[in-house]
Amino acid sequence: MKAGSAAEDLISRAVDLFQSGLALATSFSIEDVALIHMLVSADPGKKATILAIDTGRLPEDTFACAQALIRKYAIEIEWLYPNPQRLANFVSSQGLYSFKESLEARKECCYIRKVEPLRRRLRTLSAWITGQRREQTHLRSQLQVVEIDKANGSIVKLNPLCYWTSEQVFQYVKHNNIPYSRLYDRGYKSIGCAPCTRPVAPHEDERAGRWWWESDEHKECGIHVGEANTACANDRQ
């Protein structure tokens, strides 16, 4: 598959260029497990790092997927965690389900549980890989394959699957027999924290099941929104 070859080549070149300064950030989405397969193939010496965030509210299937990938590829996953005191203060003052009470509270919850732990680690790196795709949502429609992430020290941000369709991702995963979260078999198209994710109908877009009580323009946790600037325009992969 041409798209697969282009993405694999980009990851291989990134490993050669950045080595231990490179990390793949995974939520164990269908895109991320495809990228883990590509990274393992491109980096047999395991110079790059695989990062995951334990928000304290992940679905059980996410951990099952992580364990299946660890067993198949003999990889190590570096888990990132929220600042315990900041999280405790937030829960104590706002409650356990404040994220449904206002957009501001939900964004603060995402920031404490996801954005800050990842940002803390990214600022020690030279480059990172994400599973973002243009097709996922209109908020990502201008995504580029290579970007500069100014919010994280102007490191390089790589989106190898930028132009892939959902069908291409699933074909790649099944063709390579890659473990994936079984939530996808139950109607999920995007996976995050358990209370903030639900299955979607066939006609809904891929992120309709994320924070479904909010307007479409708000359906990002903050990890990607407004954080990257295009470094170079890339031809469609």
The catalytic residues are 221
Residue 8 contacts residue 42 (beta carbons within 8 Å): yes
Q: From 155, 126, 161, 151, select the one nearest 231 (Cα to Cα).
A: 155
- 156 beta partners: 127, 148
Sign of CA dihedral 137, 139, 142, 148: negative
3-state helix, strand, coil in the chain (%, to 5): 45, 15, 40
Token pair in block for residue 117: 């732990």
Residue 152 pairs in a beta bridge with none
